[in-house]
Amino acid sequence: MEKSLTHIALFAALIAALGLMPSMMLATGVPISGQSLGVMLCGTVLGAKRGGLAALLFIALVAAGLPLLAGGVGGLGMFLGPRGGFLIGFPVAAFVTGLVVQNLRARVGVAAFAGAALGGIVVLYAIGVPVMAAHLSEESVAKMFADLPAYRELPLPVALCALFLPGDLIKVVIAALVTATVARMRPESLLSRA
Amino acid sequence: MLTLTSPVETWAHRWPAGIKLALLCAATVGLFSLSGIAALSGALAAALALIASGGRRFAGESLRMLRPLWPFVALVALWHLWLRDPGGVTILLRMTTAVLAANFVTMTTKLSDMLAVFEILARPLAPLGLSPRLIGLAVALMIRFLPVMQQRSAQIGESWRARSARRAGWRVLVPATMAALDDADRVAEALRARGGAG
């Protein structure tokens, strides 16, 4: 009980700390921040339920007005901006990542790689990209749902997210490496496999 | 850790947080059902009037908070110029208005008031084991450990640089993650020793 609580709170703080670390630059000039890496680690290390709750706690405090997102920004406006879908998707991504690590019968590193790729990329993009497309569409949202071809703005967000894909793939690999190392050095602490 | 609440007192600081959030929801739904340049320009003018009512310093601060939007503004503008399509204007108007309005609520509401509203909203979750008391404790713990985590990731990075000429890269994440796990265990013990969280 207390253990779940403290793990959730401290990993929420870890997502924030990773996001506020100076970001690395890819060769393409796209900055990659540690924020979504933190979300993946929540899932791979804490498992589905605790990891999802840690990411939920993190976005709740961003919504409440703490500048915890990469670049020192935050507040309700971030949820209404074009990247809002990715924020909303964080808890779902961590949950799915944890679910894979818990249930996939494979070595921890392999399971963490698969989980982080499915949760941190597939699921996160599946939520984030349509929201971004809706923001970048000139039609009102109501009209877009009535008339799906109105999604003609889709190429722009897809292109945007393709820019971030290489960075996210690197993060998946890092999440798997970190999880495998934690599993080797401190197996009893890896709650997703406990 | 500083919050985004503006130190400049405005009339909106005195409004209850719940009412501001409800109004923001209604305004956002309204905004996303609007289309047409005229209607959306009106909405943006209203949002600008709202932040202007807080005085010059407040308005300046809220405009600075739009900075995460700039890459999107640039991209949307370029994309629509390339398509020779004037539709980009409505997109930019709607996006800016929505973010301005939401930031206005964030800037005029204290963190504690906002969290109090969240706790009320989370009340239906109490039967699932997420009691308001636990949520409050988790929030307090996270805020307390934010500077601890930041400081420690910086220290781990520094000691890496002291030992090695190579770049630290992902390796510093392993000690950072394990330190977080250890801290969580110790804080849990400390909580239990003081009567538990339940």
Q: What is the DSSP track for B117-185?
A: HHHHHTGGGGGGT--HHHHHHHHHHHHHHHHHHHHHHHHHHHHHHHH-SS--GGGGHHHHHHHHHHHHH
The answer to whether B75 and A30 are in contact (CB under 8 A) is: no
Place of tokens 């309700």: A76
Out of 2.60.120.200, 3.90.950.10, 3.90.700.10, 1.10.1760.20, the CATH code matching A2-189 is: 1.10.1760.20
Q: Which residues contact A152 (CB under 8 A, 6 or more apart)?
A: A137
The set of residues, in sequence order, having a beta carbon less than 8 Å from that of B132 and lying 6+ positions away, is B119, B122, B123, B126
How far is C-alpha A67 from the chain's CA centre?
Answer: 17
Residue B187 pLDDT > 90: yes
Question: Tokens 């969280």 belong to which residue?
Answer: B197
Question: What per-residue confidence (pLDDT) applies to A180?
Answer: 95
Q: Where are the domains of chain A?
A: 2-189
Q: What is the pTM of this model?
A: 0.89
Question: Which residues contact residue B154 at a Cβ distance below 8 angstroms, ignoring those fewer than 6 apart?
Answer: none
CA distance B162 to chain A (A): 18
CB contact under 8 A, B65 and A73: yes
Res. A149: pLDDT tops 60:
no
Q: Which positions 67-106 of A are in contact with B (Cβ < 8 Å)?
A: 67-69, 71, 73-83
Nearest-neighbour CA in chain A from B184: distance (Å): 5
Domain boundaries defined on chain B: 11-121, 124-193
- Residue B124's pLDDT is 87
Q: Rounded to the nearest 10 degrees, what angle do helices A124-135 and B88-107 cross at?
A: 110
* Residue in chain A lying closest to B169 (CA): A24
Cα–Cα distance between A106 and A50 in angstroms, integer?
Answer: 21
- Predicted complex: ipTM over 0.85: yes
Write out pLDDT tens, residues B134-175.
888 999 999 999 989 988 888 888 898 899 888 777 778 889
Residue B24, chain A, CB below 8 Å: the answer is yes
pLDDT exceeds 80 at position B197? no
